[in-house]
Structure 1
Amino acid sequence: MDPRGTRPDAGTRPDDDARHVWLATAGRLWTSGVSLDWSALHAGQGHRRVPLPTYPFQRRRYWVEADEHAFPATAGGTDAGPAPAEGTLRDRVETARDAERPALVIDFIQHQVAEMLGLDDAAQVDPDQNLFTLGLDSLNLIEIAARLGAELEQDVRASVFTDHPTIRAYVEKLAAS
C-alpha cells in the first residue's frame, strides 16, 4: 500500500499519480500567490476557460457543455442510464384515479428522502415516520417541496412539513388544500 492507503494495482497508473501530485502542488503555489503559466501547465490538453460569477449572489447559472471527446459514448452509441418512468409525475398524477394519486406523491417523496439520506432503497423510508427524527432538517424539506413543486408544475408549500412532519400527513394536507 502507498501512503494514501491505496494499492498500487488499484487501477491507477504511475503517470496519474505523478500528475495528481504535480497539480496539487501547482494549486498550493497559486493559492499562495505564485504566478503560474497556466497555458504551459495544460499544453496540448484543450482546456477551456469558463467565466464564473464574481460574487455569490449574481444569480446566473454557468454550465459547461459536455465535450464529446472528453466523455465518449458507450459502445451502444448512447448513454444507457436508468429508464425514465412513464411520463412526468404530473402526468401520472393527472391520469391516475383519485385513490392512487396520494400513493404516487408519497412514492416520489420517499425517493427524495432516500436520496438525501443516502439510502439505496426508498422502501426503507417509512411514510409515517417523523422526517426530523430521520435526520432531515427544514432546508432538506424545503428542497423536497421545491422538487415536488417542479415535478407537479405548481406551487407546493414547504411550511406544511412543520405541522405535518411525516410524508403521509404532508401528502394528505396537500391533497386537502
Structure 2
Amino acid sequence: MRMNRPCGTAVATMALAMAGLTVPATAAAPVTGPDATFLKTIHQGNLTEIATAKDAQKHSTSTCVKQVADMFVRDHTKFDTQVVALARSKGITLSSKAGTAQQKQLATLKPLHGKRDYNRVWLQGQDMSHRQALALIDKEVSSGKSAKTRALARGARPTVALHLQAVSGGVCHTVKGRTGTRS
C-alpha cells in the first residue's frame, strides 16, 4: 500500500529530534502564559506520539498500522524539532521525560503486543490524542500571543489533521477485529 504523504510546507513544518531534550533557558526572562503552555503541551504530545508509534512499528500485527506509525514517527519528530527550537529561543524549558499520558498509553499497549486487539487499541488512542492535539493547535492559532508560535501551530495543523484522518478510517480501518487497508 502506498501512503499519501502531506506535501509542501505541511511536511516541512512537522519536526523533532527526540533524544535527550531538556532545553536550557537561553533568554533572561522565560516566556510564560498560553504560548509557553502550548509549546510544553504539544512537546509532550509529540514525545507521546513518537513513543507509541515506535511501539506500533515493533508490535503491531498490521502492515497498515506500521505504515501509519512510520509516518507519525517521521512527522512528529520533525514537528517537535521546531517546537524545541522555538521554545529554546523563547527561554522555555521543555522536559525530556515521559509524561503521564505517554506512560499510560504505553502501559495500555504493552499487554497487547503482537495481538490482534493491539491495532484497534492503538488506532483508538491515536484518534483521541490527535483530536486533542488539533483542539490545542486551533486554540493557539486563534488566541496565541506570539506570532511565531501561532505560525508554528498553523503550519502543523494540516499534517495533524492528516494523521487523524489516517487513524479514524481514512487509511486503516477495523472490520470485525481485523485492521486492514482501505481500497
Same fold (TM over 0.5): no
Q: Which TM-score band applies after superposition, normalised by the shorter structure?
A: under 0.3
TM-score, length-scaled by structure 2? 0.25
Structure whose alpha-carbon radius of gyration is higher: 1
Structure with a larger share of its residues in strand:
2
Higher RCO, Cα 8 Å, sep 6+ = 2
